[in-house]
Amino acid sequence: MTILKHFILIAAILFTANMQSQTQYEQGMQKAFDLWETNPIEASQLFERIANAEPDNWLPPYYAAETLILNGFTKLNDKSALEAQLNQAQNFLNDATAISKENPEIMVMQALLYTVYVASDGAKYGMTLSGKVMALYTKAEAIAPNNPRVVLNKADWEIGGARYFGQDTQPFCKDVERALELFATFKPESKFAPSWGKERAEEILKDCK
């Protein structure tokens, strides 16, 4: 075998191995997303396994956290179970942040985690976490002012605050309208990059009118 053929063979083997790895990752991620619809806890566990196999990819721990955080809104009255779940989600967010620092998508998810705490016990967490939520959205907005999830979730938080204090929500409803416009042109950076939020924006706008 000539040296050239030897290198071509090695390159072909490496390429094939890389394609198989990508396929396994993509299959695993798709399976986790499908599982999310029926069992978010198992989906989070699968995202966690993918994260262990993809230590340089922030998306699996991000989604491992998101599944637990969104599911947390269904457990607001079960304080012990909720705290354990959110602690686990926080660990996943810490992992994602270590991989991708100053990431506005992760900041939004961190703000949502704090929001679950506030929703579960406003008297206990409202004073300590409300400022942190707003600070996260403000920072994310400075980094990515045209990210629809940043605009939407910041407005959603502000609408909640305005209603709580009996203030006008219309200025923030306009921000939700802007978020919906941004969703129409937003293109995710990769196949599994965050793209959620459009349906939530549409729901909020219904309440605004």
With b for 16 or more beta-carbon neighbours within 10 A and e for fewer, the 70-81 pattern comes to bbbeebeeeeee
Q: Largest alpha-carbon pair distance within the chain?
A: 80
Say if CB 157 and CB 134 are below 8 A apart: yes
Q: Which two tokens stand for residue 14?
A: 């490496």
3-state helix, strand, coil in the chain (%, to 5): 80, 0, 20
Which of 64, 119, 56 is CA-nearest to residue 93? 64
pLDDT in tens, the chain (209 residues): 455 444 444 444 444 444 455 689 999 999 999 999 999 999 999 999 999 999 999 999 999 999 999 999 999 999 999 999 999 999 999 999 999 999 999 999 999 999 999 999 999 999 999 999 999 999 999 999 999 999 999 999 999 999 888 898 888 999 999 999 999 999 998 999 999 999 999 999 998 86
Say if CB 97 and CB 51 are below 8 A apart: no
Predicted TM-score (pTM) of this structure: 0.87
